[in-house]
Amino acid sequence: MSQRSILPLDHLIVGLDKALRVIGGVAKASRPTPAAHAADGHLDAAEQRHSAGLMRVNHVGEVCAQALYNSQARFAKTDAMRAQFAQAGREEEDHLAWTAQRLAELGSQPSLLNPLWYAGAYAMGTVAAALGDRRSLGFVVETERQVEEHLAGHLSKLPEQDAKSRAIVEQMRADEAAHGKAAQEMGALEAPVPVKAAMSAMAKVMTTTAYYV
């Protein structure tokens, strides 16, 4: 049965279930956390808070990724596109689970604003999908480019001895690059400059706020 044959009410129920699971912190990784074999270095109180703030930002990024891929898959025009977004979303769920686990290990918690982040990202993904599959793929390419840049910045900011967080961020960065490349190979159209700027500005608001809340 193709996704198009599912009743609208079924789509709504499935979408709400996914949203509630993401916002509620219910995520199951299909791959072991990259932190499993990393050394558990000593962090003083300030370093621990800093690592937690950065990993909370990364967790919010994954909440947004789930919303984006869920909405883009929901409103994609072809089965191939829906399958691509669904596969990327499953891989991003690993990141969601890894960052949540690391936050708990650091004695912290996810952002209290996750419902807001999810709703905003879902709306953006819906708009991108409405513009057509190639534009939607271009949105993915630009999103992943900005996320890669953001993760590279975190690798320079995380304490050197926080090998567990660093291992997670390294693997996330590699996965994001792969997702962007896959979208490019499927025929993505480059996002317009104003769209790129707006995405960057919104990401700045999110990352600045999520570090603390």
Domain boundaries, the chain: 51-210
Q: According to the model, what pLDDT value does residue 26 have?
A: 73
Tell me the CATH class for 51-210.
Answer: mainly alpha
Query: Could you tell me the pTM of the whole model?
Result: 0.89
pLDDT surpassing 90 at residue 105: yes
- The per-residue pLDDT for range 55-79, each reduced to its tens digit, is 999 999 999 999 999 999 888 888 8
Q: According to the model, what pLDDT value does residue 185 have?
A: 94
Q: How many Å apart are CA 96 and CA 31, to the nearest integer? A: 12
Q: How large is the average pLDDT for residues 3-23?
A: 62
| Residue 151 Cα distances to 42, 100, 189, angstroms | 22, 16, 24
Q: How many Å apart are CA 12 and CA 18, to the nearest integer? A: 10
Residue of 134, 126, 13, 24 lying closest to 84 (CA atoms): 134
Q: According to the model, what pLDDT value does residue 98 have?
A: 97
Q: According to the model, what pLDDT value does residue 3 have?
A: 47
Better-scored residue on pLDDT, 3 or 35: 35
CB 47 within 8 A of CB 7: no
pLDDT band at 94, cuts 50/70/90? Answer: very high
pLDDT surpassing 50 at residue 1: no
DSSP class of 211? T
Q: How many Å apart are CA 20 and CA 23, to the nearest integer? A: 5
